[in-house]
Amino acid sequence: MTIRYETYGTLSENGDNAILVEHALTGDAHLAGYHTPEDKKPGWWEAMVGPGKAFDTNRYFIVCSNIIGGCSGSTGPRSINPDTGRRYNMDFPVITIADMVRAQKRLTDHLGIRKWLCVAGGSMGGMLALQWAISYPDSVNSIIAIATTSRVSPQSIAFNWVGREAIMGDPTWMNGNYEQQPMRGLAIARMLAHITYLSDESMRKKFGRHLQDSTDYSFEFDKDFQVESYLEYQGTRFVERFDADSYLYITRALDYFDISDTAHGDLSQTFANIHMPFMVISFSSDWLFPAYQSQELVKALLKCGIDTTYCNIESSYGHDAFLLETETLGSLITSFLTNRYVEVKA
Amino acid sequence: MTIRYETYGTLSENGDNAILVEHALTGDAHLAGYHTPEDKKPGWWEAMVGPGKAFDTNRYFIVCSNIIGGCSGSTGPRSINPDTGRRYNMDFPVITIADMVRAQKRLTDHLGIRKWLCVAGGSMGGMLALQWAISYPDSVNSIIAIATTSRVSPQSIAFNWVGREAIMGDPTWMNGNYEQQPMRGLAIARMLAHITYLSDESMRKKFGRHLQDSTDYSFEFDKDFQVESYLEYQGTRFVERFDADSYLYITRALDYFDISDTAHGDLSQTFANIHMPFMVISFSSDWLFPAYQSQELVKALLKCGIDTTYCNIESSYGHDAFLLETETLGSLITSFLTNRYVEVKA
């Protein structure tokens, strides 16, 4: 199994400063900075990672690991199956968030890290962080779970279902055995998901009913409104960088995520044997993983006597706020991590 | 041009008791009752229309008219173009809500109705009602606009865009010239739209994370959760009764709906020359046409000194509440219509 990862900063001699940052659904290991001077964009959480930033590389050793099932350098459905010499495609096993964490545990051992100072992530990355606390409580000193949930809701499952139907309904998908991406289906899945990452309010602010290229309605079916151009652009860019089969596997892993499952639905039972501090952060306009879902999580943590910091950040950016509200988020993470680091040093 | 319509009750001698009920996106003229004893379901607003009900057929003459562009008996893209002897398909002109109302005005004249006691509708039906007030203010005595908006939001435009992409991306759509429906694409569009008709809360209450046929996850891509089976069922049923090209045209009409347009964005200017009473009703959990959009409308009406009744009904059903909260809705409509009828009689 291959796991792509990147590291930032330096591991301390006693290994007490290592932080694992988890990426979201379509993210990757390229957390911050540029690989080459030609790169148009830095890593996906550039504002949060670097010298003096929240994930301060002067102080901490930051690891960002791609997930299994992904398509950004780690083993996934498009990898070669050594048994057949051909791509797995849909023969790849259905994976869960717990499987992704299990793979990351092997990376952790490989890196010689005995205990993470913190495992942190937003969206699906938050689920990975929560799963770390449950699967390997002795290997984690603290958890930061941002814009996430302890159990994926039927509304999210429904959106994932429709996205997968679009991919699997594209005849160029060929039951997963494509050579060329099922571009149209994957773009539809992405455009749909993208709506759930924004909010009604942010879309009104960003696009309103403004037209893209004209002063009056075209009364045609081609894109007319700015929001239509935006979605089409997002869909087109996405198929250039992400794989359709990976999209199927990772969204399915989300559907199955419910950490109350093994405790017969009782979330506080889930945390019964866990003692590390948590920071939970939600955003007021996030309707994909709404604040009430973070609050359910926080209540269960508090019921278990776990040291829990919670903040619902006022923002109009919707779910995407975890990538955009970097100033507020940065200050919260800075102080949480500083406290954890002081504790560990003590 | 053909317009399919149904009538219920009896037109009074002086024609003062006629009410036009407008249907939603995929509705039709079959408002209430059964056509044959074999019918499995009554008309779409059965609970609201009949003797002693809100739209009381002992008192009122109720007309429900299908829209042009539809596929339920009225002229639409699948009708035969007399110039070519073949279906219009995508040669059908792009239509607007105002065009639909213009066609209904001809029906009104045909029926010999000088002035509607009320034009009422929910969702797109509410837009048609608002458009009646603006297009033919002298032909309407009052308006009931339920779960609707004065301008379709970018979020709604975005969902419509993705739905149309699914239809037009289905290779069996054949640029609209299909003999067999593009079933997969149309089902995807319907499933997506269906999510927007429910609410996060109603989906949690109705489905939760319950599995359909098993006690444990299948870890496969076929439907596993109840919500997935439900969506698949809705998609399958829909393609049996609704036409893909009609779906394209009607959703496009929604996109273009903005009654502030002709008044340079000033909604109160839109109502400057209108004097009839309005009743506006929204539902607390409707996120397709949220309550704030009804409230914008109400503010503009009040600014113009228009007699306006507004109620935001507390409901967890989401947008679908306008079809489900029949008791509360019925009592509001009953008293509003009674007042209008008394006024007209006076």
Give residue-wise pLDDT tens across range B96-145.
999 999 999 999 999 999 999 999 999 999 999 999 999 999 999 999 99
> Which residues, in sequence order, are bridge partners of residue A55?
A49
CA distances to A31, A160, A288, B342 from A323, in Å: 12, 21, 14, 58
pLDDT in tens, A44-94: 999 999 999 999 999 999 999 999 999 999 999 999 999 999 999 999 999
CA distances to B87, B88, B180, B295 from B82, in Å: 9, 9, 22, 45
pLDDT in tens, B167-204: 999 999 999 999 999 999 999 999 999 999 999 999 99
Nearest to B335 by CA among B23, B36, B15, B56: B56
Q: CA B341, CA B346: separation in Å to the nearest integer?
A: 9
Q: CA B145, CA B128: separation in Å to the nearest integer?
A: 9
**A157 contacts in B (CB within 8 Å)?**
209, 225, 227-228
- Kindly report which listed range (A44-58, A276-290, B259-273, B282-296) carries the lowest average pLDDT score: B259-273
Nearest to B153 among A96, A151, A200 (CB): A200
Span B60-87, average pLDDT? 97
DSSP of A28-70, one letter per residue?
-S--SS-SSTT-SS--TTGGGEETTSSEETTT-EEEEEPPTT-
Q: CA B242, CA B249: separation in Å to the nearest integer?
A: 12
Confidence of residue A285 (pLDDT cuts 50, 70, 90): very high
Write down the pLDDT at residue A265: 81
Task: Judge whether A155 is closer than 8 Å to chain B, CB to CB.
Answer: yes
Q: B161, B168, B198, B286: best mutation site toward chain A, by most A Cβ within 10 Å?
A: B161
Evaluated on CA atoms A73, A79, A80, A82, the torsion sign reads positive
Nearest to B195 among A155, A164, A166 (CB): A155
Q: Rounded to 5 degrees, what angle do the CA atoms B35, B39, B42 make?
A: 70
Q: Rounded to 5 degrees, what angle do the CA atoms A320, B284, B231 make?
A: 65
Distance from CA of B200 to the nearest CA of A (A): 6
With a CB-CB cutoff of 8 Å, which residues 89-108 of chain A face chain B? 90, 93-94, 96
Q: CA B149, CA B319: separation in Å to the nearest integer?
A: 12
Task: Judge whether A188 is closer than 8 Å to chain B, CB to CB.
Answer: yes
Nearest to A214 by CA among A228, A234, A193: A228
Q: Indicate if the pLDDT at residue B62 is higher than 90.
A: yes
pLDDT in tens, A188-205: 999 999 999 999 999 999
Amino acid residing at A265: G
As a whole-number percent, the residues of chain B with pLDDT over 70 amount to 100
Q: B157, B191, B250: best mutation site toward chain A, by most A Cβ within 10 Å?
A: B157
Please compute, for residue B33, the number of CA atoms within 13 A of its CA located in the half-sphere on the CB side.
Answer: 16
pLDDT in tens, A319-340: 999 999 999 999 999 999 999 9
Asked if A203's CB is within 8 angstroms of B155's CB, the reply is: yes
Task: Judge whether A169 is closer than 8 Å to chain B, CB to CB.
Answer: yes
With a CB-CB cutoff of 8 Å, which residues 298-317 of chain B face chain A? none
Asked if A162's CB is within 8 angstroms of B192's CB, the reply is: yes
Q: Indicate if the pLDDT at residue B263 is higher than 90.
A: no
DSSP for residue A276: S
Tokens of A319: 């779910």
Write down the pLDDT at residue B265: 81
Q: Are strands A143-146 and A278-283 parallel, antiparallel or unpaired?
A: parallel
**B256 contacts in A (CB within 8 Å)?**
217, 219
Task: Judge whether A189 is closer than 8 Å to chain B, CB to CB.
Answer: no
> Which residues, in sequence order, are bridge partners of residue A310?
A280
Q: Which helix (H) or strand (E) holds B87?
A: strand B86-87
Nearest to B21 by CA among B51, B52, B43: B43
Distance from CA of B13 to the nearest CA of A (A): 42
- Quick check: A144 and A121 in contact, CB under 8 A? yes
Please compute, for residue A210, the number of CA atoms within 13 A of its CA located in the half-sphere on the CB side.
Answer: 12
Distance from CA of A150 to the nearest CA of B (A): 12
Tokens of B70: 């539809």
Q: Which of B56, B245, B286, B320 is catalytic?
A: B286
Counting DSSP H helices and E strands in chain A, the numbers are 11, 11
Asked if A256's CB is within 8 angstroms of B152's CB, the reply is: no
Confidence of residue A158 (pLDDT cuts 50, 70, 90): very high
Asked if A255's CB is within 8 angstroms of B224's CB, the reply is: yes
- Quick check: B61 and B343 in contact, CB under 8 A? no
Asked if A248's CB is within 8 angstroms of B158's CB, the reply is: no
- Quick check: A285 and A315 in contact, CB under 8 A? yes
Write down the pLDDT at residue A214: 87
Please compute, for residue B196, the number of CA atoms within 13 A of its CA located in the half-sphere on the CB side.
Answer: 22
Query: Which residues are CB-contacts of B191 (< 8 A; sequence separation ≥ 6)?
Result: A158, A161, A162, A165, B231, B232, B234, B235
Asked if A152's CB is within 8 angstroms of B165's CB, the reply is: no
In A, minimum Cα distance to B222 occurs at: A161
CB count in 10 Å sphere of residue B185: 28
Burial class for A303, CB neighbours closer than 10 Å (0-12, 13-18, 19+): middle
DSSP of B19-48, one letter per residue?
EEEE--TT--S--SS-SSTT-SS--TTGGG
Q: CA A128, CA A68: separation in Å to the nearest integer?
A: 12
**A223 contacts in B (CB within 8 Å)?**
161
Average pLDDT, chain B: 97
ipTM: 0.97
Q: Which of B74, B123, B246, B316 is catalytic?
A: B123
Catalytically annotated residues of A: 123, 286, 319
The residue whose two tokens read 């571009």 is: A183
Nearest to B212 by CA among B222, B202, B199, B204: B222
**A169 contacts in B (CB within 8 Å)?**
166, 170, 184-185, 188
Which SS3 state, helix, strand or coil, does residue A213 take? coil
> Which residues, in sequence order, are bridge partners of residue B211?
B225
Confidence of residue B346 (pLDDT cuts 50, 70, 90): confident
Query: Which residues are CB-contacts of A200 (< 8 A; sequence separation ≥ 6)?
Result: B153, B155, B287, B290
Task: Judge whether B129 is closer than 8 Å to chain A, CB to CB.
Answer: no
Nearest to B247 by CA among B21, B45, B124, B77: B77
Asked if A227's CB is within 8 angstroms of B157's CB, the reply is: yes
Tokens of A288: 């994909």
Span B228-247, average pLDDT? 98
Span A9-18, average pLDDT? 97
- Quick check: A272 and A100 in contact, CB under 8 A? no
Asked if A169's CB is within 8 angstroms of B185's CB, the reply is: yes
Q: Which helix (H) or strand (E) holds B188?
A: helix B183-197
Q: CA B299, CA A37: separation in Å to the nearest integer?
A: 54
With a CB-CB cutoff of 8 Å, which residues 207-246 of chain A face chain B? 207-209, 217, 219-221, 223-228, 231
Asked if B162's CB is within 8 angstroms of A188's CB, the reply is: yes
Q: CA A1, CA B278: separation in Å to the nearest integer?
A: 66
Confidence of residue B261 (pLDDT cuts 50, 70, 90): confident
Task: Judge whether A187 is closer than 8 Å to chain B, CB to CB.
Answer: yes
With a CB-CB cutoff of 8 Å, which residues 262-291 of chain B face chain A? 287, 290
Asked if A184's CB is within 8 angstroms of B165's CB, the reply is: yes
In A, minimum Cα distance to B230 occurs at: A158
Q: CA A206, CA A317: separation in Å to the nearest integer?
A: 10
Tokens of B191: 């499933």
Q: CA A141, CA A117: separation in Å to the nearest integer?
A: 5
